[in-house]
Chain A
Amino acid sequence: MKTIKIILGFVFVLGLASCTKDFEEINTNPNVVTSDEASGRYFLTNPEVGLYGPTRYPYWRAQLIHSDRFAGHFTFGSHGSWWSDELGYTYSSSYTDAAWGWLAGYFGGLDNFMTLTGPEGEFENPLMYATGQIIKGLYFQMYTDIFGEIPYSQVGDPAITLPEFDTQKDIYKGIIAELNSAMTTIGDNPTTGDGVDDMGENDLYFKGDLQKWKKMANTLKLRIAIRAKGASGDDFADQAITEALTLGMFIEAGEDCTLPKDVEISQWTSAAYGDVWWNFGGYGSKWKVGQVMINYMLRNNDPRLSKYAVPSVGGEFTFKRPDQESNEDGYTHFEKRTRFLAHTINEAIDLQGGDTTNTFQYYVDSVTFNVPPDTYYIGQPTRLNGKIKSMVRFEFFSSPSDYVIQRKNEGQPIAPELIMTAGEAYFLRAQAALDGFEGDAQLLYNEGIRSAMKLWGVGDADIDAFFASGSPLTVVSAENVAIQRWMNDYTDGFEAWAVVRKTGYPTELSQGVNDINIFGYGDINGDYPTRMKYGNAAYNQNGANLGDAIARQGPDEMNTKLWFAK
């Protein structure tokens, strides 16, 4: 009897074991936000920030190491730097993968915003969706201009895990179609709605002002059309340019679209140049402003110079000729290299009306440089090789201005990220006018220069003085429009690099380098880099489709020309 009771007891326990009453409650995560607790606009901010102010890892590897240096704006390779300025020109998969990974991975946040606000989304709002389409245009233009063919038409569909790559031409056309659709949707609407339906302060670009969004969409359309115009097989650029000019809505003076920097946020959330510049010891991570940029500004009395850079630190430095036995190369090319540096320094000092008689002095087996302290703007030549590095003194050359490399958390203003400037809009219209479309090229060009200078806080008097200086750069021409766009894009290396590739200006950059004793040839024989190689993730995850793209586009090398530049 007792045995039976015990067995019955266990049968009861067996029943308990299969009890699953509170399983669902146990397995609900209290830390995540569900859609009934959220609003669409909260999903907009991160995609806006992530494309221009990513975390330090890509900020350093994609923007600084690649685009800002390919654009000739910045240089590495002064004596204490971790790298020679050949870095990036020599392919390094880790740095390239960081750029690829950042841009490829960026899409998820934008896709989420568009899914939530799109048709049948949980926060369906066609007007918010239209802003998503415009950001998508900015994103895909930047992305394809770096790598060439990328997946575009089949993105955002979880059912397609292996999307095909699209040609750059098709991507451009697709972006323009989406921009048209966004502009149509926006129409005359001033905002995306009221209360939480208004993007408001969550919209860092335009504070929810839809008409400005529409202007940006039209300006972007013009940018893409001008870039495509002239490429082989282009069958849409002229029409798009005409449409954009007809609509006539562009970013205008004072309406620059920039991303204000958060001066407190951690560099692990959103980085700034100052994070890379200051948060490491010594010279290793620091960089200089490029010679081509400084010299253009010097030759043309550009009032932005002091906004972009600071005079070099200067000082006296002696270099000994290396011992022939231990360093044959250094011994042989000692004079050539020191004379090259002396020439670079003297040229800049000359342009500033300085005295160059004592800047360097040759002795039997040594050279002494004497650069006056904190006086002259001197740019560092691009792509110097590792063998000259020890003589490329950090003190010789100009650093970026404090405003550019301002450290965060100090309460000081930091240069914002450029997204779409009024200057560029005018320059694009000036280019269209030069190409025979409507508009007064010189007037638009002048307006562009004025807007570009004002963006950096240059006063009207200084701007007027520039126009009165008689600089050749005050006269509109295709070359000068390109140079001005490239100067205006300072700190936006991606766009500046694209301008150089499309226009061939400044030629000092686009012609590449041809003295192996002074310059780093990289993997591309000294050619100008015309694209970046695909990331390894593309090979690992979608190899077959990538293979098709490479077969169409040309070898996956850094000197294979992209469609727009052909």
Chain B
Amino acid sequence: MKKHYFVTFMLILAMFSNVFGQQRTITGTVTAQDDGLPLPGANVIIPGTQVGTVTDIDGTFSLDVPEATAQLEFSFIGMNTLLVSIVGMNSVSVILETASMAMTEVVVTALGISREKKSLGYAITEVSGDEVNTVKEQNVVNSLAGKVSGVVLTQSSSGPGSGTRVIIRGNNSLTGNNQPLYVIDGVPMDNSGFGSVNGGGTGEYSRADYGTGISDLNPDDIESISVLKGPNAAALYGARAANGVILITTKKGKAREGIGVSWTSQATIENPLLLPKYQNQYGMGSLGNYPNDYADLETFKGNSGSWGGKLDGSNQMYWVEDPMGSGNPVTRPYSAQADNVKDFFQQGSSFINTIAIEGGNDLGNLRFSYTNNNTNGIVPNSYLKRNNFNIRGIVHASKKLTLDTKVTYFIQEANNRAVQGTEGIMSTLYRIPRNSAINDYKNFQNPDYSAVSHSALGSNPYWTTDHDVNNDTRNRLLGYVKANYEVTDWLSFFLRAGTDHTTQNIETINQYGHWYYGTGRFNFATYKTSETNLDFLLMFKKQFSEDFSFSANLGGNMMSQTFTSNAVRGEDFKIPTKPTTNSARELYPAYTPLREKRINSLYGQVSLGFRNFIYLDLSGRNDWSSTLPKDNWSYFYPSASLSVLLNNFIDAEGNWLDYLKVRGSYAKVGSDTGPYQLDIGYNLQQNGYLGLTTLSRPGTKMNPDLKPEQTASLEFGLEWRMLNDRFYGDFSLYSIKSTDLIMDVPVPSSTGYSRFRSNVGEITNKGFEVLVGGTPVRTANFTWDVSLNFSHNKNTLVELIEGLESYVFTTTNSGIVVVQATVENDSLGVAGGFGDIYGKTFKKTDDGRMIVDANGRPLATSEKVYMGNYQPDFVAGLSNTFMFLNGFTLNFLIDARFGGQLYSGTDASLDGSGVSERTLEYREDGIVVDGVVNTGTAEAPVYEQNTTQITGQEYWGAMSGIADNHIYDQTNIRLRELSLTYRFPSSMFDNIFIQNLTLGLVGRNLFFLYKDIDNFDPESSFSTSNFSQGVLWYNLPSTRSFGFTLNVNF
């Protein structure tokens, strides 16, 4: 493979040195009509060839042309292309006019085909590279937040390099991956992740997020991003496109004079955006007691709450052992440590540097970039280091043959990715007693290897950052070679081979003395994934007459995905400080042999245009998937779309209306499943009881007759641009229906199984998306661009299987909250949706009086009631760009989410521990809950008014077991991005080698303009899978970052 690339590069170099004869030199300048300023970067080519150049910073060019050349073609994005005669001339002066955006806007569509946007019958949103790399994110998809309507992003909060859940137009599958397909320069990029990020595990105990594939992409390499929403735009990509496609086009070298070098640098610091509000009046203890003696201290260590006496500064017993070795605890002033949680965090920092070198001429071009990313997280001892090498070369090997190749090599090392959840690091930190000094935890280990702690459970955040660690490295090589051949002027084709290999090593170590794995445990695993795509596309394009245009594409793809892993788990260390395979008394090796999934596909598309105002597209695709049974492994799905430009009838001259389009489309997509989902077989236990050979049957009843899932989508839209682009808009209305969902339906264990694999159910997503924007002010010195998008999606689970009313995603450990998909049921008034939150409420008598127990504590119901749904009702983004004073650009993005609920288990737990601010209530005087107590029996209750007073500790303890108290609305509005950049005038660099220089101040996630929940960021999540959404369990705080950027071109 590598040899291939080498040959290609040699070829490029050879062509650069080619010399032509019989030439003359044409020079000239290009200026823009609008402002009369020189236009740098305009293309100048000899028509019908690839020979050309671009204008320099002063808008000038110089081009050697064959003697006979009669014309030159001048073009620039957003301007009308102009042919200029050069007969008998040695220099030209050219003025380019601004084109109406509407009529010429070209977008990248499925299969990488560039199309005029006006001809498309479905919604597509394009985001430019500048929009995602001005304020760089560690994970580039996070930059889409607020910029694309209909997209809901949920970032994992586990620190640098963590994953993000991206949902376009709602969730279509209960158990499958609802995230879009990523396609980079036409080749799909594997977005899978390891650890719990993509896993189906529902546990809230510990979730580690090792990031997903897309975070490996370097934002500086991105030219543009097209978001194809839903199946309509994406039908040609097949199964994986049912959830939409994010098409990313990377930068390539430009034909230019000399070699271009650019350097971009971003340095930012980050800090927690939001920490819980704490009380600072009461310290460690119970029922208002200080730890009077050692026994008290042990008791208080047992429940480790902050339910002690008033923090009055008196000398009291403290949990730290006497440093002189007496074995007794020390005494300390009993006073508040208000910042003990905050002081644990370190200031995060991030340095991202990219250097790009490019060069090219009429024969080809080459671009090389290298990015180094050095990031320290806010948790001590956590960091991420990335190196990203990227090389892209294009060679015009002959008039007809173009070769295009790209190789990316990526290496990443992450240290100590924080584990989130009820046993994660924040659960040890957030609850430390209010009088515990964070410094006392720094000497974190007892002689018996256990953690030094205020708690009998042995929680110490520093022990965790040092001894309970998660390290991983990730190596990735991806690239492609593509040969494009123009057979005639109406027929061309390409052949392409792309591949993507990832190897990830994950080492998890729980050192000896760990509170749960007391004798130590480790897990060392290596995962390898690959995806290889071989494809071709035959492209036919013809204008039959003035009125009719026709184009057709016919393509095929062979995809192979593989997975293999090697892992060894060890427990019970012989040498406590040695987490090695030789030190473990118990070893459990595991090897997963190569697992493969193959899909072969054929697809075709026909586009018809009539008089440039009606466009009809038809497409069809047939897949053959190795994961389905023989009778069902071949499946076909079609799509159709229509676009009509009404402005031709309303304002044909374009006096005020640039463009008005109505569009409609229908598409169907089928999707398959993973490998080995049909087999019926038994599991052999590696370590059978007493060494015996033991077999067991899997809990899931397999189904050898699975069918592909079907997703059908209908979409209508309206787009306009008017007043010479000063006002534009785009409105979409869609309805998506998924049926025959492949899922493991949970069934009562009495069937002998826990789940049946079936094709069942129906999910619908209906919604709309609105984008309006424009340029309210445009003067020579000041321009204001504004755009607003918002969208709404309503998800309904119409049907599951007979008798089953819900599908549970998450049940909290305490059992008081479940997050589920509920089947629509009109007679019960159940709306039915993906992500319904049900929880226990206060137990009440039939006439509505609260029931308390004999001790006067409120009781929770056995049944759970509907409390909300985690999917937001609306998401919106408002972007403003101001350009002023010749070089300044100020951009800010406000991002909002309206509606949607979540259950904060963290808040419940902080209340139960007595550390949260609200537990100040009822501390001094207790409370007599207004309710009744049952003095009869369960069968024959007798209710009497409650008169028993309970303490604040008992009250908040009871409250933390009732879900009602910790359901929050996710509504929030925040300043997501802010940047102020200044581009130094080129006149400053006239005599030096710098061509341009831009400096900027940037900030992300700066503050909330509004939020409903007090203590946490409602958009953060401890997992990006379908499971574990809608609940907060000891997330890391999300962060606010700011810094500066530098961009220099040489």
Contacts and interface: CB of A to CB of B under 8 A. Distances in A.
Contact of B487 (A2, A19, A20): A2
B309 A13 contact: no
Contacts of B517: 279
Interface in A69-111: 79-82, 90, 92-94, 96-97, 104-109, 111
Interface string B939-957: 1000000000001000000
A151 B595 CA distance: 40
B536 interface: yes
Contacts of A45: 688-689, 692, 694
B423 interface: no
Interface stretch (B60-68, B402-410, B807-815): B807-815
B753 A158 contact: yes
Contact of A80 (B298, B557, B630, B935): B298
Nearest to A394: B298
Contacts, number: 313
Contact of A33 (B293, B303, B682, B938): B682
A156 B751 contact: yes
B356 to A, nearest CB: 37
Contact of B697 (A31, A112, A260, A533): A112
Contacts of B585: 409
Given A161-B748, A409-B585, A32 B681 contact: yes
B682 A97 contact: no
B598 interface: yes
Nearest to B958: A90
Interface in B514-570: 515-519, 536, 538, 554, 556-558
Given A45-B694, A284-B456, A79 B295 contact: yes
Interface string A26-56: 1111111111001000110110010000000
A526 B855 CA distance: 11
A105 B389 CA distance: 51
A499 B515 CA distance: 37
Interface in B263-290: 286-290
A104 B600 contact: no
A391 interface: yes
Contacts of B805: 543
A17 B557 contact: yes
Interface stretch (A241-249, A434-442, A472-480, A550-558): A550-558
Nearest to A5: B487
Interface stretch (B73-81, B466-474, B672-680): B672-680
Contact of B746 (A23, A115, A533, A541): A541
Contacts of A280: 457, 515-516, 518
B753 A27 contact: no
A17 B601 contact: yes
A540 B810 CA distance: 12
Contacts of B939: 554-555, 560
B679 A32 contact: yes
Nearest to A550: B862
Contacts of B602: 14, 17-18
B287 A329 contact: yes
A155 B538 contact: no
Contacts of A537: 748
B747 interface: yes
Contacts of A522: 853
B676 A326 contact: no
A523 B853 contact: yes
B8 to A, nearest CB: 23
Contact of A322 (B289, B458, B695): B289
Contact of A393 (B295, B622, B697): B295
A559 B682 contact: no
A387 interface: yes
B750 A536 contact: no
Interface string A261-284: 010111001100000001111111
Interface stretch (A126-134, A177-185, A313-321, A370-378): A313-321
Contacts of A115: 752
Contacts of A16: 556, 558, 600
Contact of A327 (B289, B293, B598): B289
A24 interface: yes
A539 interface: yes
Contacts of B457: 82, 280-282, 284
A327 B301 contact: no
B49 interface: no
A458 B650 CA distance: 104
B624 A20 contact: yes
A504 interface: no
A202 interface: yes
Contact of B593 (A30, A524, A556): A30
Interface residues of B, number: 121
A6 interface: yes
A281 B517 CA distance: 10
A357 interface: no
Contacts of A90: 853
A450 interface: no
Contact of B630 (A24, A112, A151, A543): A24
B600 A17 contact: yes
Interface in A302-326: 317-320, 322-323, 326
A31 B692 contact: no
B750 A154 contact: yes
B753 A320 contact: no
Contacts of A536: 811, 815, 818, 864
B488 interface: yes
B690 interface: yes
Contacts of B699: 105, 108
A516 interface: yes
Nearest to A101: B749
Contact of A163 (B301, B750, B814): B750
A463 B293 CA distance: 45
Contacts of B811: 97, 536
Contacts of B727: none
A142 B416 CA distance: 46
B387 interface: no
A542 interface: yes
B696 A43 contact: yes
A215 interface: no
B634 A204 contact: no
B518 A279 contact: yes
Interface string B633-668: 110000000000000000000000000000000000
A293 B157 CA distance: 51
B413 interface: no
Contacts of A278: 518
Contacts of A23: 598, 624, 626, 630, 633
A223 interface: no
Given A33-B695, A92-B814, A326 B803 contact: no
A162 B624 contact: no
B292 interface: yes
A80 B805 CA distance: 44
Given A29-B681, A160-B751, A319-B295, A109 B696 contact: yes
A118 to B, nearest CB: 12
Given A160-B751, A201-B692, A516-B854, 5 more contacts: A80-B298, A154-B750, A281-B518, A409-B585, A524-B938
Interface of B: 286-290, 292-293, 295-296, 298-303, 309-310, 450-451, 456-458, 487-488, 491, 493, 513, 515-519, 536, 538, 554, 556-558, 571-572, 585-586, 588, 592-593, 595-598, 600-602, 622, 624, 626-627, 630, 633-634, 675-676, 678-685, 687-690, 692-697, 699, 701, 746-754, 756, 801-806, 808, 811-816, 818, 820, 840, 853-855, 859, 862-864, 934-935, 937-939, 951, 961
21 contacts: A10-B493, A13-B556, A14-B602, A16-B600, A17-B557, A27-B675, A29-B595, A29-B681, A30-B593, A35-B682, A155-B751, A161-B802, A162-B803, A201-B692, A202-B694, A266-B571, A280-B457, A282-B301, A330-B287, A540-B806, A541-B746
